[in-house]
Amino acid sequence: MRADRLVAAVLLLQARGRVTAAELAKDLEISVATARRDLEALSSAGIPVYPQPGRGGGWSLVGGARTDLSGLTAAESQALFLMLGPAASGGPELSSALRKLVRALPATFRADAEAAARAVVSDPARWGERDREPPALVQSLQQAVVHRRKVRFDYSGKGRLVDPYGLADKDGVWYFLAGTPAGQRTFRVDRMSAAEITDLPSERPDDFDLREQWARVVEEMEQRRSLVSATVLVDARYLPVLRSRFGRHCEVLGERDGRVTVKVAAHWVRSIAEQLAGWGDLVEVVEPEPVRAELARIGRELTGRYGS
């Protein structure tokens, strides 16, 4: 979902007061289904956009037609910028658009809107995980980041009280970056329990940049996860499926006669072999020998159990 498209939808609603999905689709040059999904997304995020059925109906922005953003409440502006913030990585144009929108807000809302725009970073490259619904805790953690309130929770059997720095959405798996007495730490949100947003004010380094810090976290994690690699041959038509399994740990080395040479990586030999075993003879492991040997072991094990 493009951030610039959502902004355009909000501004059209403010200017006209009411639009149909078909009208929005025509103005933004998108399909009616996409326009309807955008309107529903705005409504779900807390922007006061509601459908009005019947003759002369459509989608309306509660409060009537407006020509700027000054009619948004504090909560509404935060909801909008929480949605748009992760999309700012789309390029300098979107970053510039966000800055202009911030300046269009009432002065009393600007600090929270800027904080909301920086509260979440989006990383589409998966770590072998499947897409999932965001944990219910995500919204509360976003508010803790925006309003700078300490968060108390249990993690791995240990109680923690931390300063919230920001959140990262890694293709549906959410991570929480926070300050602890031992320094900055990263927590998986779906593994946090008994979480409480306290009234205690939190601190965050003045020079903290969420995107830079998340890039550092990813780099450290990649180094730990990618200790073993294997070179494999696969039919070009199956490459997208292989990529979906290994995520960023899938590098194309070359293509010849319809077959692609790919380097895949994981944190140990067995992990690579287990992921490739289900492919049967659709993939060929060229090297290293430990991965080939582990695949042979898995094959013997399966033959022993299921062979006639």
Q: Using one digit for the tens of pLDDT, what is the confidence trace for 174-231?
A: 999 999 999 999 999 999 999 999 999 999 998 999 889 998 998 887 776 657 899 9
Each domain of the chain, given as residue ranges in start order, spans 3-117, 122-210, 226-306
Residue 225: per-residue pLDDT: 62
CATH 2.40.128 holds for 122-210 = no
Say if CB 78 and CB 119 are below 8 A apart: no
Spell out the residues 6+ positions from residue 72 whose beta carbon is closer than 8 angstroms to its own: 80, 105, 109
**Does the pLDDT of residue 83 top 60, yes or no?**
no
pLDDT digits (tens, 9 = 90+) for 85-125: 555 555 555 555 555 565 555 555 556 655 655 666 666 55
pLDDT digits (tens, 9 = 90+) for 31-74: 888 888 888 877 776 677 878 776 667 888 765 434 345 556 65
Going by C-alpha positions, the residue among 118, 40, 52, 110 that lies closest to residue 85 is 118
pLDDT (average), residues 158-166: 95
Span 3-117 CATH architecture:
Orthogonal Bundle (1.10)
- Tracing tokens 């300098």 back to the chain, one arrives at 92
Residue 37: per-residue pLDDT: 85
Report field, pTM of the whole predicted structure over 0.75: no
Spell out the residues 6+ positions from residue 95 whose beta carbon is closer than 8 angstroms to its own: 88
Pairing of strands 120-123, 158-170: parallel
Q: Tell me which CATH code domain 226-306 carries.
A: 3.30.70
Surface-to-core class of residue 308, CB atoms within 10 Å of its CB (0-12 exposed, 13-18 middle, 19+ buried): exposed
Instruction: Establish whether domains 3-117 and 226-306 are of one fold.
Output: no
